[in-house]
Amino acid sequence: MKRLGKFLRTTDSSLPIEDRVFIIACSAAVFASILSFLANIILELDYLMAKGSNSGIYLQGVYEIQLEDSWGNVNTSAANNGGIYQRWDDTKPEGRKGYEGSAPRQNVSRAPGLWQHIRIAFQAPKFDGSGKKTENARVISIELNGVLIHDNVELSGVTRGANGEEKALAPLRLQGDHGAVAFKNIKFSKLTADATNRRGDNTNPIYIDINTTPNIRSFVDIPGGSKVVHAISVSSPAQVHYSYDLDNGSLFQIWRGEFVDATPMWHERGNGTSRPRGSTTVLTKKPVPALSKLADAQAAWLADTTGTGFKTKGYTVDAQDRPTFHYNMFGTAVTDAIKAVDGGQGISRTISLAAPVDNLYALIADGSSIEEVSKGLYVIDGQSFYLKFDDAKDKPVIREANGNKQLVVLVRGKVNYSILL
């Protein structure tokens, strides 16, 4: 992989270009061009959108991959984040000028202000000796935030806003004329024949339809972490879903996009596991009890429920099939209600006690970094997600634990917060 920090130039010479982060925040049309002339490439970069912004990655300067603040959208179009933008014909009637284009398979976009990752495998068009095109350009694949959103899409011509005509070799452009956008970790490598001719698993996938099975019990393997053997995954029509560990009362992952792939569980003999289909935010790699009695906010957290009197009491569901979890712990009954935030922007969680318990804390977040960016609003794990407290009376504490940061709060009968991602 080559890094592109030293190979960029912009149409506005006043814009700073640094090796780590490159920010465009202009009202006029501004483009950053990669000086190297590129053909068949794999491009990877991280980008961050301001609220309401949109931008674009122009492959060879003429094929736009749209970058947009599409946070919370349920339906997708070619103009949304990760879309292959439409071609354009001004001679056609209004409403029909745009044509072709390709919408992402699902919306896995993050909230504005959070870093997103895109990986594009691109094959340039081919021309004969006379300059006649013999083969169209092709997007071999696009992965957004770890999820495949395009697979083998042929590009018959330039998209709207192209800088010139199709060529065998041309520079990459990054657009920034519709609100602020930041880029970092820009890398590229040569697209190999193996990547172009790859063959996937021929197994027919078994996907869970939330209209027939809104919640599913299974094992869940946490990426890079442990196996949760008493897990439940809960869906939402807003396309923000989560998994919960019934053995610890622990919310351990959230994802945006489609619901669950049950192929590992139900194909042939199966292994009992299911996995998210969307872009997953892992909240912990090893679930621990959500609640713990501590001498003070800096004391060590419980590794398991031994000695706590923990006993799961199952869950109840409301008219919309949203579960509220129930368990006993430290001599009181606990309810844990989790539901999607209106607009699909994340989830809201309320942990309530039937009777007060002295020195009882809730573990709210665990990550490499935790920063309070405004009153009651925190950004977690290198701008992976936001955490917002809904009650000003809650006084969260940021602490060090096992080389990480943790956010804990004293539970005074009830604690309520939202995770936005």
The 10s digit of each residue's pLDDT in 164-178 is 899 998 888 888 778
Q: pLDDT tens, 47-103? A: 999 999 999 999 999 999 999 999 999 999 999 999 999 999 888 999 889 999 999
**Coil, strand, or helix at residue 388?**
strand
Cα–Cα separations (whole angstroms), residue 405 to 24, 28, 33, 401: 31, 41, 39, 6
Which residues, in sequence order, are CB contacts of 349 under 8 Å at separation 6+?
A: 251, 336, 337, 338, 416, 417, 418, 419
Q: What is the pLDDT of residue 20?
A: 53
Identify whether residues 124 and 255 lie together within a single domain: no
Identify whether residues 162 and 220 lie together within a single domain: no
Q: Could you give the CA distance from residue 240 to residue 107 in angstroms, rounded to a whole number?
A: 10
Give me the mean pLDDT over the 5-19 stretch. 47
Q: What is the pLDDT of residue 192?
A: 85
Question: Is residue 30 scored above 70 in pLDDT?
Answer: no
Give me the mean pLDDT over the 229-258 stretch. 97
Least confident of 171-180, 336-345, 369-378: 171-180
Give the count of alpha carbons within 13 A of 81, CB side only.
31
Least confident of 222-226, 245-249, 342-346, 389-393: 389-393
Helix (H) or strand (E) run with residue 265 in it: helix 263-266
Identify whether residues 242 and 192 lie together within a single domain: no
* CATH number reported for the structural domain that contains residue 13 in this entry: 2.60.120.560
Least confident of 17-21, 83-87, 353-357: 17-21
Which residue, of 196, 228, 243, is where some domain finishes? Answer: 196
Q: Residue type for 251, please?
A: L
Question: Is residue 6 scored above 50 in pLDDT?
Answer: no
Identify whether residues 172 and 30 lie together within a single domain: yes
Q: Is residue 318 part of a domain?
A: yes
Q: Is residue 163 part of a domain?
A: yes
Decide which of 130 and 18 is more confident.
130
- At 175, give phi and psi (nearest 5°): -95, 150
Q: pLDDT tens, 192-210? A: 877 666 656 678 999 998 9
Identify whether residues 303 and 162 lie together within a single domain: no
Which residue, of 196, 231, 260, is where some domain finishes? Answer: 196
Give me the mean pLDDT over the 313-328 stretch. 96
Residue identified by tokens 């991280």 is: 46
Take residue 320 and report the two structure tokens written for it.
């919309």
| Domain boundaries, position 237 | 215-420
Question: Is residue 10 scored above 90 in pLDDT?
Answer: no
Do 406 and 361 meet the contact criterion of CB atoms below 8 Å apart?
no
Rg (CA), the chain: 24
Q: How many domains does the chain have?
A: 2
Order of strands, sheet of 404-410, starting from the edge strand that comes earlier in the sequence: 291-293, 360-367, 404-410, 397-401
Which residue, of 164, 196, 228, is where some domain finishes? Answer: 196
**Coil, strand, or helix at residue 264?**
helix
Q: pLDDT tens, 294-319? A: 999 999 999 999 999 999 999 999 99
Give me the mean pLDDT over the 344-360 stretch. 97
Take residue 36 and report the two structure tokens written for it.
């190297």
Give me the mean pLDDT over the 324-328 stretch. 98
Q: Which residues pair with 142 in a beta bridge?
A: 120, 150
Torsion of CA 9, 11, 15, 16, to 10 degrees: 0
Q: Could you write out the DSSP letters of every residue in 21-49?
A: EEEE--SS--EEEESS-BSSEEEEEEEEE
Q: Is residue 203 part of a domain?
A: no
Q: pLDDT tens, 116-125? A: 999 999 999 9
Q: Could you give the CA distance from residue 255 to residue 257 in angstroms, rounded to a whole number?
A: 7
Identify whether residues 178 and 220 lie together within a single domain: no
Return mean pLDDT, the chain: 90
Identify whether residues 115 and 71 lie together within a single domain: yes
Q: Is residue 202 part of a domain?
A: no
Identify whether residues 26 and 168 lie together within a single domain: yes
Residue identified by tokens 């068009």 is: 125
Q: Could you give the CA distance from residue 408 to residue 290 in angstroms, rounded to a whole number?
A: 10
Question: Is residue 34 scored above 50 in pLDDT?
Answer: yes
Q: Is residue 205 part of a domain?
A: no
Q: Which residues pair with 241 in a beta bridge?
A: 255
Q: What is the pLDDT of residue 391?
A: 80
Question: Is residue 2 scored above 50 in pLDDT?
Answer: no
Give me the mean pLDDT over the 240-266 stretch. 97
Q: Is residue 42 part of a domain?
A: yes
Q: Is residue 210 part of a domain?
A: no
CA angle (125 as vertex; 119, 131 as ends), nearest 5: 155
Q: How sure is the predictor about 16, in pLDDT bands with cuts at 50, 70 and 90?
A: very low
Of 293, 289, 285, nearest to 305 (Cα)? 289
**Coil, strand, or helix at residue 317?**
strand
Identify whether residues 308 and 228 lie together within a single domain: yes
Which residues, in sequence order, are CB contacts of 360 under 8 Å at separation 6+?
A: 291, 292, 293, 330, 353, 410, 411
Identify whether residues 247 and 183 lie together within a single domain: no
Q: What is the pLDDT of residue 24?
A: 57
Q: What is the pLDDT of residue 193?
A: 78
Q: What is the pLDDT of residue 58?
A: 93
Of 249, 251, 203, nearest to 348 (Cα)? 251
Q: What is the pLDDT of residue 172?
A: 85
Identify whether residues 405 and 311 lie together within a single domain: yes
Identify whether residues 177 and 222 lie together within a single domain: no
* CATH number reported for the structural domain that contains residue 406 in this entry: 2.70.98
Q: Could you give the CA distance from residue 51 to residue 110 in angstroms, rounded to a whole number?
A: 11
Q: What is the pLDDT of residue 18?
A: 45
Decide which of 173 and 369 is more confident.
369
Of 230, 262, 255, 258, nearest to 244 (Cα)? 230
Question: Is residue 247 scored above 50 in pLDDT?
Answer: yes
Q: Is residue 132 part of a domain?
A: yes
